[in-house]
Amino acid sequence: MPVGVRLVQKVSSTRTFARIAPHVIPAMDRTVHRLTRGRVLLSARMLPGVILTARGARTGQPRTTPLACMPERDGGWLLIGSNFGRPGHPAWTANLLAHPDADVNWRGEDIPVRAELLAGEERAAAWRSALEFWPPYAAYQARVEREIRLFRLTRR
């Protein structure tokens, strides 16, 4: 593993990162994604990323969120609701629970998807894969009492 990736993993596991990143990274990603017409997602330089558009759980209005993701072999994605190891579930997870049909922008392509909250052994296997993919998720889980939500997105 390159030294730069190890350094980013170490930094992203800290509580300071968890306080700052949720305010900086999504805003930066949204802006760059919009300016490049979907061709660039800055955070994807370290982790693959999608722009998720899901209907709000309460309002039904479209909500757009840049997210790190784990691409799966079948062409779908795994989304990890880590919220950078902060106490509450991220809002986008409630949106997917209420409205599982959504869209992602993946490398500039808009793709309709269906989200499924993983549970049981399926979740356990996905969690093991997520930890291999990005070890800081273990530090995020250790900081919170809630179980981090995992969603599998499949193309509709």
pLDDT digits (tens, 9 = 90+) for 57-69: 999 999 999 999 9
Burial class (CB in 10 A: 0-12, 13-18, 19+), 67: buried
How confident is the model over 74-106, as pLDDT tens digits?
999 999 999 989 999 999 999 999 999 999 999
The total of other beta-carbon atoms located within 10 Å of residue 31's CB is 12
Say whether 59 sits in a helix, a strand or coil.
Answer: coil
